[in-house]
């Protein structure tokens, strides 16, 4: 029993869950999954690079065990598990993932085939030259440092990236409710685009694309929808269609070879997926034209050979391979990055704008740092030059002082108290000294070798150099155009260092699905149970199925594998599903819900049929409000997945759809029976029902009382004794024949 209720805090559970989940989501978005728009790095990548710098792993230093790097990163900066850190480290070594790898790996770091990296205790790493463009200036105070997770260390909030890493290397990440997917670009093109933006901040995206026409993937291949790139760069979202690069070679025995030399970036690090897909297609006879598939890739490059049987249509086969294998794939672009703790979708110009703005800040801080350093040094050099002119006096002060503190006070303030001088003249000159504190410390630390004439000359030369440098720094800091010149100059140096020819070819391919497939026509049965689970089996499997197994299915439709399954709903729509889309299963397999094959949603399905059967039939539609009509099955021929099957008044719906075959129609003499919700019945000849288009509403079949509605409609032969209603057998004889449209009589059923 709780006696003290003062410490109990009452709160709304849903509000607490909402706040907690929001905090968690923002933590994942900002601190884990998304890159910063300035340096293009996720927090884990930034921390790995900084930890490696702290370990002194420069490109010219020996490699260090990856386990040590992971341990330092996790212990000091990123307490989220060693596996995630090592995976990020491995990715930064992959030349097939990044345009400029940031880590130089030594050992087994996996392969483009899909082989995983060795354990961290076996591999070694150090920083690459590309990483140094982001770390070289950390000691100049260009970026802010923040406390780490336990306040025991400091870490940079962002790295002073001097290249537009976000676009050059790209990134991918999944956060809570959002994801980023930024493709890599050509370093030279991106730098040219950045310079173009500096020269003209009002430049349009269309003009920027003259410098950055499209992503440039490390795996090469082709972008086949170049015309979509402008939309992607303007909105920050879109899809890039990638295709393998192939060559046609002469093979043995008159055969031709399709040789894949470059693969889509989407399967970089999983090349075997493509090879396995091709082998599977060959074994399953999906492509009868393929004779053999071989992977002849090596360190020199990718080479996947597809041997084609003699006298086969290679162009048609290629279209089929692009359609059904990862030889063609889609890369979804989403230029999402973090700016000032907020996730934002950027366009191409915005990304460059943020980079240049960041460069202005970095270079301003750098030159302020250089100016301060040069002024401090000039102060010292001036002091040393002055000191060499009165070196005898300084020596006399040092010999007459009892401590360094006493001598320093004399040099700075002319304080000659308790200092012994040889002459009054020396004492007077000493009292007039006014070196700064920094100069005094440099003089006291100056070795005697500085008194050599050559060293004194060097001091004067350094003095002149410092004066010129300070003048230059002030000019750069005082004029933004001069600052831009410096930024552009260094960007051009980086372009020389990292420029590579474009690897991804650009093209526009209008039709990529022109594969003509020879389909073997066969009989199938589509089975649908009472819950809507749907599957197809071949005729031989159906013939072997027991009656007990078949009882589980509410609908069994016989059709060809090239036909379409048609669904009619009470809401007046017809949906179509290609027979090839219905999964082939065993009789005991569950199958898939019909709702996943077409957009039926919450509609009530009244009838299933094949299109071939529908095309040769006549449909009789009956609605709740009493409208009835006949429609030819020819009316429903369409390539669309869903069409309106009939016109319905507001609030009305179909209660029945009856399909009559051509033989039944020709035989004539059919009777329509209607039952209403209030127990009235009406029977009349089918000949009284008009044939209309599918867009027609129909004609009145029965005069209904207020609040009454048609509940059931069926069509019988005059000789039929009974019909089924809700599973019950009712008498057809007791439904009196009257004219269509008359009021029904009380059903005696």
Residues known to be catalytic:
122
727: Cα separation from own chain's centroid? 53
The C-alpha atoms of residue 400 and residue 300 are separated, in whole angstroms, by: 76
Burial class of residue 53 in the structure, from the number of CB atoms within 10 Å of its CB (0-12 exposed, 13-18 middle, 19+ buried): buried
Two structure tokens written together for 243: 């295709």
DSSP 428-451: HHHHT----HHHHHHHHH--GGGG
The C-alpha atoms of residue 194 and residue 218 are separated, in whole angstroms, by: 21
Beta-carbon neighbour count of residue 363 at 10 Å? 21
* Residue 32 DSSP one-character state: I
The C-alpha atoms of residue 83 and residue 75 are separated, in whole angstroms, by: 13
Which has the closest alpha carbon to 288: 306, 308, 260, 273? 308
* Residue 737 DSSP one-character state: B
The C-alpha atoms of residue 688 and residue 741 are separated, in whole angstroms, by: 10
* Residue 29 DSSP one-character state: I
**Residue 608 β-bridge partners:** 567
Specify the DSSP element, H or E, that contains 307.
strand 304-308
The C-alpha atoms of residue 688 and residue 450 are separated, in whole angstroms, by: 123
Phi-psi region of 224 (alpha: psi -120 to 50; beta: other; left: phi over 0): alpha
The C-alpha atoms of residue 199 and residue 190 are separated, in whole angstroms, by: 14
Specify the DSSP element, H or E, that contains 164.
none
DSSP 547-590: HHHHTTEEEEEEEETTSEEEEEETTSEEEEEEGGGSPB--TTS-
Output phi, psi for 88, to 5 deg: -65, -40
The C-alpha atoms of residue 421 and residue 424 are separated, in whole angstroms, by: 7
**CA 415, 418, 422, 424: dihedral to nearest 10 degrees?**
50
Cβ pair 343, 175 in contact under 8 A: yes
Which has the closest alpha carbon to 191: 216, 155, 157? 216
Two structure tokens written together for 368: 């302020």
377: Cα separation from own chain's centroid? 51
The C-alpha atoms of residue 676 and residue 651 are separated, in whole angstroms, by: 17
DSSP 32-45: IIS-BTTT---HHH
Phi-psi region of 696 (alpha: psi -120 to 50; beta: other; left: phi over 0): beta
**Residue 605 β-bridge partners:** 569
Two structure tokens written together for 408: 């320093």
């Amino acid at each position: 029993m709780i006696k003290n209720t003062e410490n109990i805090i009452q709160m709304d559970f849903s509000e607490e869950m909402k706040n907690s989940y929001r905090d968690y989501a923002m933590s994942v978005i900002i601190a884990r999954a998304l890159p910063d728009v300035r340096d293009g790095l996720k927090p884990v990548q930034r921390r790995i690079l900084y930890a490696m710098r702290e370990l002194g792993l420069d490109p010219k230093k020996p490699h260090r065990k990856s386990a040590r790097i992971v341990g330092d990163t996790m212990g000091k900066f990123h307490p989220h598990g060693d596996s995630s850190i090592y995976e990020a480290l491995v990715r930064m070594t992959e030349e097939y993932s990044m345009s400029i790898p940031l880590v130089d790996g030594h050992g087994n770091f996996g392969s483009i085939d899909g082989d995983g990296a060795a354990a961290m205790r076996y591999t070694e790493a150090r920083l690459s030259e590309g990483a140094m463009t982001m770390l070289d200036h950390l000691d100049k105070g260009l970026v802010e440092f923040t406390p780490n997770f336990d306040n025991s260390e400091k870490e940079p909030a962002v790295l002073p990236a001097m290249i537009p890493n976000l676009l050059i290397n790209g990134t991918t990440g999944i956060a809570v409710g959002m994801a980023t997917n930024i493709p890599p670009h050509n370093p030279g093109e991106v730098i040219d685009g950045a310079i173009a933006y500096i020269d003209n901040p009002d430049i349009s995206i269309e003009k920027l694309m003259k410098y950055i026409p499209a992503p440039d993937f490390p795996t090469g291949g082709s972008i086949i929808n170049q015309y979509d790139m402008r939309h992607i760069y303007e909105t920050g979202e879109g899809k890039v269609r990638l295709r393998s690069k192939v060559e046609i070679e002469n093979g043995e025995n008159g055969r031709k070879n399709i040789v894949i030399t470059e693969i889509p970036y989407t399967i970089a690090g999983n090349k075997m997926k493509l090879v396995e897909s091709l082998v599977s297609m060959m074994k399953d006879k999906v492509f009868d034209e393929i004779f053999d598939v071989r992977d002849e890739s090596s360190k020199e490059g990718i080479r996947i050979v597809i041997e084609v049987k003699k006298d086969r249509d290679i162009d048609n086969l290629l279209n089929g391979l692009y359609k059904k294998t990862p030889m063609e794939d889609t890369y979804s672009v989403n230029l999402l990055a973090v700016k000032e703790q907020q996730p934002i979708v950027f366009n191409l110009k915005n990304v460059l704008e943020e980079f240049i703005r960041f460069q202005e800040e970095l270079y301003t801080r750098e030159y302020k740092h250089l100016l301060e350093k040069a002024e401090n040094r000039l102060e010292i050099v001036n002091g040393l030059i002055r000191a060499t002119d009165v070196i005898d006096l300084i020596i006399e002060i040092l010999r007459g002082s009892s401590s360094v503190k006493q001598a320093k006070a004399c040099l700075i303030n002319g304080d000659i108290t308790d200092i012994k001088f040889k002459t009054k003249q020396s004492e007077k000159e000493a009292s007039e000294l006014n070196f700064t504190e920094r100069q005094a410390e440099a003089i006291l630390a100056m070795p005697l070798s500085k008194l050599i004439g050559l060293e004194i000359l060097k001091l004067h030369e350094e003095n002149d150099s410092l004066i010129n440098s300070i003048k230059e720094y002030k000019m750069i800091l005082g004029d933004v155009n001069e600052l831009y010149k410096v930024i552009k100059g260094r960007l051009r140096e980086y372009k020389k260092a990292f420029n590579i020819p474009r690897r991804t070819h650009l093209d526009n391919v209008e039709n990529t699905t022109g594969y003509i497939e020879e389909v073997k026509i066969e009989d199938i049965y589509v089975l649908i149970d009472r819950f809507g689970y749907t599957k197809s089996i071949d005729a031989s499997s159906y013939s072997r199925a027991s009656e007990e197994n078949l009882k589980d299915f509410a609908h069994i439709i016989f059709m060809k594998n090239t036909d379409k399954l048609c669904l009619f709903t009470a809401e007046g729509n017809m949906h179509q599903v290609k027979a090839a889309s219905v999964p082939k299963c065993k009789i005991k397999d569950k199958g898939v819900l019909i709702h996943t094959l077409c957009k039926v949603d919450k509609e009530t399905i009244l009838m299933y049929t094949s299109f071939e059967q529908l095309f040769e039939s006549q449909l009789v539609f009956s609605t709740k409000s009493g409208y009835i009509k006949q429609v030819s099955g020819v009316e429903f021929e369409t390539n669309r997945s869903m069409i309106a099957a009939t016109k319905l008044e507001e609030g009305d719906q179909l209660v029945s759809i009856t399909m009559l075959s051509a033989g039944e129609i020709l035989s004539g003499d059919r009777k329509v029976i209607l039952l209403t919700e209030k127990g009235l019945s009406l029977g009349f000849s089918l000949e009284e029902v008009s044939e209309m288009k599918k867009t027609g509403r129909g004609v009145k079949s029965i005069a209904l009382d207020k609040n009454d509605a048609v509940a059931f409609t069926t069509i019988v032969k005059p000789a039929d004794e009974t019909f089924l209603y809700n599973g019950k057998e009712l008498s057809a004889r007791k439904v009196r024949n009257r004219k269509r449209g008359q009021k029904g009589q009380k059903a005696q059923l």
